[in-house]
Amino acid sequence: MIVVLKRETTKEEQRELIERIESMGLRVKDASSEKRCVLGIIGDETKVDITHLQAYRIVEKVIKVQNPFKLASRAFQAENSIIEVDGHKIGGGNLTIIGGPCSVESEDQIITIAKAVKKAGAHILRGGAFKPRTSPYSFQGLGVEGLKLLRKAKQETGLPIITEAMSTEEFDVVEEYSDIIQIGARNMQNFALLKKAGKASKPICLKRGMSATIEELLMSAERIMAEGNADVILCERGIRTFETYTRNTLDLAAVSAVKELSHLPIIVDPSHGTGKWEMVEPMSKAAVAVGADGLIIEVHNDPERALSDGQQSLKPAKFAHLVKTVGKIHAIV
Ligand code: PEP
Ligand code: MN
């Protein structure tokens, strides 16, 4: 529910109304912008009698929000959220390029790739230390050792780090070593993990579950935000459909839907979205054209020998070409 206040409302009158709403067991978020004075009501709306709110002279109108998500919704916050990581702004018209290997494999590998993606113009380095692999016999990641190597790569290049936390147990150590904590597709509805992410002091990159609707993605973001962490970056990484030619079906319409429904930044992962390195640049171009706030791309110096996802990883030269190309498209958009 949104309460739009009259322009001439004083701080004192506003405070009185907020206290009244809070006394009904609800939370209030001041969602005012330069143009409007707006209060967002969060919680069980059945506890509110709209006519009581409408009776306040300072209330211009009360709007019922159809979406089940509130804090994540564009109705609550009209301006795009901008999330700052080591001075780099994600969202708000910026194009953020994230590049790096699927998994951290060795010191030499991560440092080599980190230097290459930095040279190509990437802003953030990706690399999995804890890996959600479908098979228990596949490489599971280097764990804390991988996190330490990511830190070394950051020291060498200055690039901030994004890496995945798969469970609440390893969350704290991942938070310690990373600048953005990724919650992967398989964990999009791991509610204990989302709750933990909501208490974190670092931004969260929330990937869309492979069978999740856009609304479910936004509800998972809402769960993080409801715990107090407003810095959520959404990621479209493809969903399961009847198509098997590509690893997933990259749903670029989700980008434009999210832009309509939410103020949160949304980036696109064309690597997992297609599963084929040849398709990564074309889909990256499309993602930027449709309004994505950034790209997260798998890059490997030796994809033929990569311990995971070599088939969808770009070599550094191809990645550098992609960064240049999408930059031109972004300038036009
Ligand atoms: C990844 O980014 O390394 C990853 C495993 O992605 P997803 O959760 O989208 O499959
Ligand atoms: Mn991968």
pLDDT tens per residue, range 212-222: 999 999 999 99
The span from the CA of 294 to the CA of 144, in Å, is 27
Mutate to test the pocket of ligand 1, among 186, 237, 250 (most ligand atoms within 8 A of CB): 237
Q: Are residues 59 and 113 in the same domain?
A: no
Q: Which of 253, 247, 196 is nearest to 223 (CA)?
A: 196
pLDDT per position as a tens digit, 77-110: 889 999 999 999 999 999 999 999 999 999 999 9
Q: What residue owns the CA closest to ligand 1's atom 9? A: 185
Per-residue pLDDT, 237:
98
Q: Are residues 126 and 223 in the same domain?
A: yes
Q: Mean pLDDT over all residues of the chain? A: 96
Q: Are residues 189 and 309 in the same domain?
A: yes
Mean pLDDT for the stretch of residues 289-300: 98
Q: Are residues 252 and 297 in the same domain?
A: yes
The residue ranges of DSSP E strands in the chain, in sequence order, are 2-5, 27-30, 37-42, 59-63, 83-85, 88-90, 96-100, 124-126, 161-164, 180-183, 204-207, 232-236, 266-268, 294-298
Q: What residue owns the CA closest to ligand 1's atom 3? A: 102
- Tell me how far the alpha carbon of residue 139 lies from the centroid of ligand 2, in angstroms: 11
CATH code of the domain covering residue 11: 3.30.70.1140
- Tell me how far the alpha carbon of residue 333 lies from the centroid of ligand 2, in angstroms: 28
Whether 75 maps to a domain, the answer reads no
pLDDT per position as a tens digit, 234-257: 999 999 999 999 999 999 999 999
Q: Is the CB of 272 under 6 A from ligand 1?
A: yes
What is the value of pTM for the model shown? 0.93
Q: Is the CB of 238 under 6 A from ligand 1?
A: no
Q: Are residues 283 and 145 in the same domain?
A: yes
> Burial letters for 109-146: b for 16+ Cβ neighbours within 10 Å, e otherwise?
bbbbbbbbbbebebbbbbbbbbbebeeeeeebbbeeeb
Q: Are residues 50 and 90 in the same domain?
A: no
Q: Are residues 213 and 120 in the same domain?
A: yes
The span from the CA of 215 to the CA of 229, in Å, is 19
3-state secondary structure of 115: helix
Q: Are residues 283 and 151 in the same domain?
A: yes
pLDDT per position as a tens digit, 119-166: 999 999 999 999 999 999 999 999 999 999 999 999 999 999 999 999
